[in-house]
Amino acid sequence: MQISLFNQEQENLTSDDYYTPKHLFDALDVKFDLDVASPPHATHVPCTKFYTQKDDGLTQPWYGNVWMNPPFSDPRLWVRRFVEHNQGIALLSVSKSRWFNDLWDRRVPMVLLPSDFRFEDPKGGNGSIFMPSALVALGSSNVAAIANIGTVR
């Protein structure tokens, strides 16, 4: 019996593999050139190109307007690369960490997501996580887009 590629990828999902819900992209109304940290089969992200874990988005070239929902288990290098790229929207956990404090201290525009925000869980769970999340935007059109979600800080 042959296992399909989709089933193999589903079996290889980690605790970091949560899908950003489509309704968030609908509200943002932004087209992205590149999703730099895409879980397998996240087809509703409005991007032209996707880097999955297999592609290792940290080692690939980033270009244009990027979407980033990095692994919440260790987003440090992803956040650094996102800030260096300086054009996109990132979905990040709000945490007591040096990288988050740096974003906050630099007054990088962000919107806190509602406390009941849920991801799409490909493993069939309810998609909730234990920490609050925020959208962080770099580039004026992206800052305007996150204002569709809430008050920009």
Residue 28: pLDDT over 60 = yes
> What integer pLDDT is reported at residue 10 of this predicted model?
42
* pTM confidence score: 0.86
Say what the alpha-carbon torsion angle 72, 76, 80, 86 is, to the nearest 10 degrees: 20
pLDDT of residue 47: 94
12-16, 62-66, 135-139 — which is least confidently predicted?
Answer: 12-16
Fold of the 5-146 domain: Rossmann fold (3.40.50)
The whole-number pLDDT of residue 131 equals: 76
Which residue intervals of the chain are DSSP H helices?
Answer: 5-11, 22-28, 76-85, 98-105, 140-146
pLDDT digits (tens, 9 = 90+) for 134-146: 999 999 999 999 9
**Is the pLDDT score of 38 beyond 80?**
yes
Averaged pLDDT for residues 56-74: 95
Orientation of helix 98-105 relative to helix 76-85, angle to 10°: 30
Q: What is the dihedral of CA 122, 43, 12, 38, to 10 degrees?
A: -110
Burial 91-101 (b: 16+ CB within 10 A, else e): bbbeeeeebbe
Is 17's pLDDT higher than 70? Answer: no
